[in-house]
Each structure stands twice: as structure tokens, then as C-alpha cells.
Amino acid sequence: MTIQGVANILMNGYVAQTADPKINELLSRGGIMSMLSSASLILLALALGGLLIKYTIVETIVQELREKMDRPSRLIGFTALSCIGINLIVGEQYLSIILPGETFKRSFEQSGLDKKYLTRTLADAGATVNSLVPWGVSGTFIMGTMKVSALQYLPFVFFAILAPIFTIIGGFLLNHKKEKSQIGVN
């Protein structure tokens, strides 16, 4: 195998030639050229995220809502909804964690909520939901790998659907816990 042959495999992929067609299909892949659509999607999402950070768009929107976040349930709910919204707009799970995380960190500190609730909310509503977004990085990967549409695999992703719901329910339970502690009931 020459250096030119290795470079060709890296760029265009490897074509296996065995007696079993299933093994050929499994081992034959497209190389860097076949991943360009996913890579360009990631680059565009990161560029859009950079603009959202640079021009403090998310922070500006949250500034208007900050006085309404007077309870743990509202703070967790707004954080979860912003994670989901950024997932839908940008389609990048890392940005759906980073942008709301930086934006709501101060609100969580001011409300006296432990940062573990912020972390849990970001993970449940940011990272897991991205697989449900067809134009998101995870959604694109799943659809390309499994050769199914997002609607076809939707009934099987219980965790991605239920995690944000349980996180918001947990915020309401924190309201109840905080109210009980304020009146001295254990």
C-alpha cells in the first residue's frame, strides 16, 4: 500500500471485497468526503453559537425574564426551555448546554439553588433532546446511521422525551421543599 493509496482511502473510503456481501457493506465506508455534510453542519452550528455568544442574544432575552424567575420551578423551567429552544434553533447539543449554562449560572446562585440542579437541567434538556432534532448533529447522525427518519425512531427514545419532563417536575418539587423549609416543617 502506497502513501497515495492510504490518502485515497482516507478521503474516499475503503471498499472491502470479501465473499460475504454483509461484511462488505459493514467494512466499506465513505471516508472524509462522506462526512463533509455532518462536519459542515457542526461548523455552521458553532458559528451561529459564536454569534449568539458574541452579541449576547440569549442573555438579552433572559434579562427580560429574570424577575419572573422567583421560584425554583420557574428557573429550572426557563433553563430547560432555553436548552430545548437553542437545540431547535442551532441544532448543536454543546451550545444548548453552554449558552444556557453561562446565562442562568448567576440566577441559580442568586436564588440559592445548588449548581447540581443547573447541571442536571442542562444535561436533561440540552444534551438528551438533541437526538430528537432532525437537523441537529445527533439527530443527523442517528438518521444517517440507522437509515430512518426522526419520526420513525421517536417512539423508541423514551429517555430523551422523559428526561426534560421529569426535570421540570423536579423543579416543582423543589418549590414544595423550599416552602416547607421556610416555614420550619421537615
Query: pTM above 0.95?
Result: no
Residues 3 and 80 in one domain: no
Grid coordinates of 51: 454569534
Whole domain around residue 22: which residue ranges? Answer: 1-33
Residues 24 and 70 in one domain: no
Q: Is the pLDDT of residue 182 over 70?
A: no
Q: Is the pLDDT of residue 186 over 60?
A: no
Average pLDDT value for residue range 138-147: 85
Residues 12 and 85 in one domain: no
Residues 41 and 3 in one domain: no
Average pLDDT value for residue range 153-165: 94
- Listing DSSP states for 29-74 in one string gives B-HHHHTHHHHHHHHHHHHHHHHHHHTTHHHHHHHHHGGG--SHHH
Residues 28 and 39 in one domain: no
Question: What phi and psi values does residue 92 have, to the nearest 5 degrees?
Answer: -130, 120
Confidence class for position 179, pLDDT limits 50, 70, 90: low
Residues 15 and 92 in one domain: no
Residues 92 and 63 in one domain: yes
Grid coordinates of 94: 454543546
Residues 177 and 151 in one domain: yes
Residues 17 and 39 in one domain: no
Q: How many domains does the chain have?
A: 2
Residues 110 and 177 in one domain: yes
Confidence class for position 34, pLDDT limits 50, 70, 90: confident
Nearest-Å Rg of the Cα atoms of the chain is 22
Sign of the Cα torsion 95, 170, 120, 114 reads: positive
Residues 77 and 169 in one domain: yes
